[in-house]
Structure 1
Amino acid sequence: MSPPIPSNMRAIVVEKYGSPDDAFVIKSVPTPVVEPGRVLIRVRAFGVNHAEMHMRRGEWAEDMPIIGIECVGTVVASPDGKFATGTPVATFMGGLGRTINGSYAQYTSARVNNVVALDPDAVDRLGWANVAAIPETYATAWSCVAQNLEVSKGDRLLIRGATSALGKAALKLAIQAGAEVTATTRKEERFGELENIGAKEVLQESPGLAEKVAGRKWDKVLELVGSSTVVSSLKLVKKGGRLCLAGWLGGLEPIKEFNPLLQMPSSVHFSLFGSFVLGEEDFPVSDIPLGDILRMISDGKFEAKPARVFKFEEIAEAHKVMEANEANGKMVVLVE
């Protein structure tokens, strides 16, 4: 018999926009009501994402009092019968933290289309903290590498902003696909980290990278720095190649000036991937081989440990680290 669902839960609530110390309050709030089309999940751990920093500041287009766009945990109730009680699952996007209360809580109610069952043995071997570093980051990385860029064996791929959590995940998946990867980072002291993961070459990131590499071009480019460098990245793609914009490490400001007639090279394919579409009709999460990725990590084919693990009560500290660009990879929070 399943334990009763408590009427109240602990949650991290954004009571006003601002700094981590000013915005967050941990308090008791009603546990989400179980509804058809949703899955009630006991949150065991959640990843910390840049989008949530912007939500906390009031800079995102949408946000809820309880933010958090992903988590891992166990099923408490599934009215549609898709998941058995106790099933380990991951959920990400589907409006979490944006249009419905998110994962910064002991329980969350996620859209059934955005919930993925996880291999219990792999979860047991890795532990909740390690599993929490995977869902949104690797779902996004796989979508960029496998779908938008169609990276295949022998491709020469450039990843700009590769020491981010998404950049490292994309690097690992691209290497698994047989690509030869050049990675960029702003800090020279992080070159060795990317080389140890498997990057064949590491370059120092700067807005003038295209001029620095003197006419070199790549088959595929994954742009994670964002609006400040994407026009430069167009110059780095060979004829018939692909550029995917999927990150905004440099900030959310739009491109200040872009004239496609003058700045868009002919026969280069330019696309965007935003993880907010995951779970929609055209982007089902069932397309993403999250189970295979989890098994590869569990089997030691590559590592996906979080850079730092925080307690629930340390959420403000986690956001301070993220804001200072000191995360050096994925950060996660253990709820209990």
Structure 2
Amino acid sequence: MKAIVLNGFGGLDALQYQDIPKPQAVPGTVLIKIKAFGINHAEMHMRRGEWAEAAPVSGIECVGVVEACPGGEFAVGAKVAAFMGGLGRTINGSYAEYTLASVHNVAAIESELPWAELAAIPITYATAWTCLFRNLDLQAGQTVVIRGATSSFGLAAVNMAVNAGAKVIATSIDDSQFDKLRKLGVMRCELENLQLSEQLSDKGQIDAVLDLVGNSVVLDSLKIVRRGGKVCLAGWLGGLDPIPDFNPLLQMASGVYLTFFGSFVFGSPQFPVSDVPLQAIAADIAAGRYQAKPSRIFRFDDVREAHRVMEANEANGKMVVVHDDA
């Protein structure tokens, strides 16, 4: 089968197109003929050698059709999504014609949406849903700040939070993106910066922060929420450097909650993929309740260009790759 193999770590040339053996299904796995897959920042870090683990074939998610499932958990020919469970990290991932995923990391996603639109859903919406409604326990009427709201993850979170009846304050480093966010229903927009808390008149009254900027601003995020408020750290748009000299005694307000979510736990007993309502999310998208179309669609031969666009911060949303037969 055709695949994109990491030839060492580095620039775009590290992504090499090769023919490799098609994987063979064994009990506990699902062989998927890939129709489309999302492009993610994690894969950029893997290509550069900045991630703890990187499989020869990158790609942490895909949508496609079941080719084989020895255990019978999924019917041959069924439409499915697969994400995490080591894909692209410890086992070959989705930058290929086929992938072999654990049954614990596969979910049915029957829908009439085009493959390109289905590919924009799995990891992005599963992670946004878990952060908002599990870690933050966001309720209708509450106010949430989404930092990094114009990323693909951020836009998914905005869609879901607004649709759930929350009041959303969205941040971006580019005020030209504010109109886009307002059209999604956010209450207001703020220019992202390291001291966002200082420019918020309602600082200390906000229920929750979904922090996708990361370690560089998480201490500032903790200053935004009220007593009993929650901050969920779930992204690193601002870089992977650790929080310097974090001393909770001096830098964390009493009575606030800091939680973390890493999508690598999907498929574990504590975070089963079946817990995420992917089918309902796809139905909401098909019904127009979310504006979730991919920002850019690439062919399989153009994955290097997709990485270039991602690296240049030109994506403006979720980018996907579609195979020629999709």
Q: TM-score, normalised by structure 1?
A: 0.95
State the partner residue of 1:19.
11
* Helix, strand or coil at the partner of 1:221: strand
Q: How far did 1:131 drift?
A: 0.5
Q: How far did 1:200 drift?
A: 0.8
Alpha-carbon RMSD across the aligned residues, in angstroms, is 0.8
Which of 19, 22, 25 is the equivalent residue of 1:31? 22
Which of 88, 91, 100 is the equivalent residue of 1:109? 100
Q: CA separation in 1, counterparts of 2:40 and 2:235?
A: 12
Q: CA separation in 2, counterparts of 1:141 and 1:208?
A: 24
After TM superposition, list the pairs within 5 Å mapping 1:297-312 onto structure 2: 297-312=285-300
* Helix, strand or coil at the partner of 2:133: helix
* Helix, strand or coil at the partner of 2:227: strand
Q: CA separation in 1, counterparts of 2:249 and 2:37?
A: 43
Q: CA separation in 2, counterparts of 1:215 and 1:304?
A: 30
Do 1:44 and 1:128's aligned partners in 2 also have CA atoms closer than 8 Å? yes
Q: In structure 1, what residue type is equivalent to 2:161?
A: A
State the partner residue of 1:4.
none
Q: CA separation in 2, counterparts of 1:50 and 1:253?
A: 15
Q: In structure 1, what residue type is equivalent to 2:200?
A: V
Report Cα offsets for 1:153-175 as digits up to 9, x if no partner. 11011000000011010111111
Which of 273, 279, 284 is the equivalent residue of 1:296? 284
Do 1:105 and 1:335's aligned partners in 2 also have CA atoms closer than 8 Å? no
State the partner residue of 2:42.
51
* Helix, strand or coil at the partner of 1:219: strand
State the partner residue of 2:90.
99
Q: How far did 1:214 drift?
A: 5.0
Q: CA separation in 2, counterparts of 1:127 and 1:303?
A: 14
Q: In structure 2, what residue type is equivalent to 1:53?
A: M
Q: Does 1:208 align with 2:208?
A: no
Do 2:160 and 2:290's aligned partners in 1 also have CA atoms closer than 8 Å? no
- For structure 2, which runs of at least 5 residues remain unmatched after alignment? none
State the partner residue of 2:250.
262
Which of 174, 184, 195 is the equivalent residue of 1:187? 174
Q: TM-score, normalised by structure 2?
A: 0.98
Do 2:120 and 2:292's aligned partners in 1 also have CA atoms closer than 8 Å? yes
Q: CA separation in 2, counterparts of 1:70 and 1:253?
A: 25
Q: CA separation in 2, counterparts of 1:111 and 1:42?
A: 14
State the partner residue of 1:89.
80
Q: Does 1:327 align with 2:315?
A: yes
Report Cα offsets for 1:34-75 as digits up to 9, x if no partner. 111100000000000000000000110001110100000000
Report Cα offsets for 1:210-233 as digits up to 9, x if no partner. 122256231110000001000111
Q: CA separation in 2, counterparts of 1:320 and 1:256?
A: 30
Q: How far did 1:300 drift?
A: 1.4
Q: CA separation in 1, counterparts of 2:109 and 2:197?
A: 42
Q: How far did 1:302 drift?
A: 1.6
Report Cα offsets for 1:9-28 as digits up to 9, x if no partner. 000111111111x2011110
Runs of 4+ in 1 over 3 A off after TM superposition: none
Do 1:68 and 1:96's aligned partners in 2 also have CA atoms closer than 8 Å? yes
State the partner residue of 1:5.
none
Aligned residues: 323
Q: In structure 2, what residue type is equivalent to 1:195?
A: R
* Helix, strand or coil at the partner of 2:292: coil
- For structure 1, which runs of at least 5 residues remain unmatched after alignment? 1-8
* Helix, strand or coil at the partner of 1:136: helix
Q: In structure 2, what residue type is equivalent to 1:11?
A: A
After TM superposition, list the pairs within 5 Å mapping 1:69-80 onto structure 2: 69-80=60-71
Which of 135, 138, 145 is the equivalent residue of 1:148? 135
Which of 238, 244, 251 is the equivalent residue of 2:239? 251
* Helix, strand or coil at the partner of 2:20: strand
Q: How far did 1:257 drift?
A: 2.1
Q: Does 1:234 align with 2:222?
A: yes
State the partner residue of 1:127.
114
State the partner residue of 1:65.
56
* Helix, strand or coil at the partner of 1:249: coil
* Helix, strand or coil at the partner of 1:320: helix
Q: CA separation in 1, counterparts of 2:105 and 2:271?
A: 10
Do 1:89 and 1:117's aligned partners in 2 also have CA atoms closer than 8 Å? yes
Q: How far did 1:248 drift?
A: 0.4
* Helix, strand or coil at the partner of 1:30: coil
Do 1:94 and 1:276's aligned partners in 2 also have CA atoms closer than 8 Å? yes
Q: In structure 2, what residue type is equivalent to 1:154?
A: G
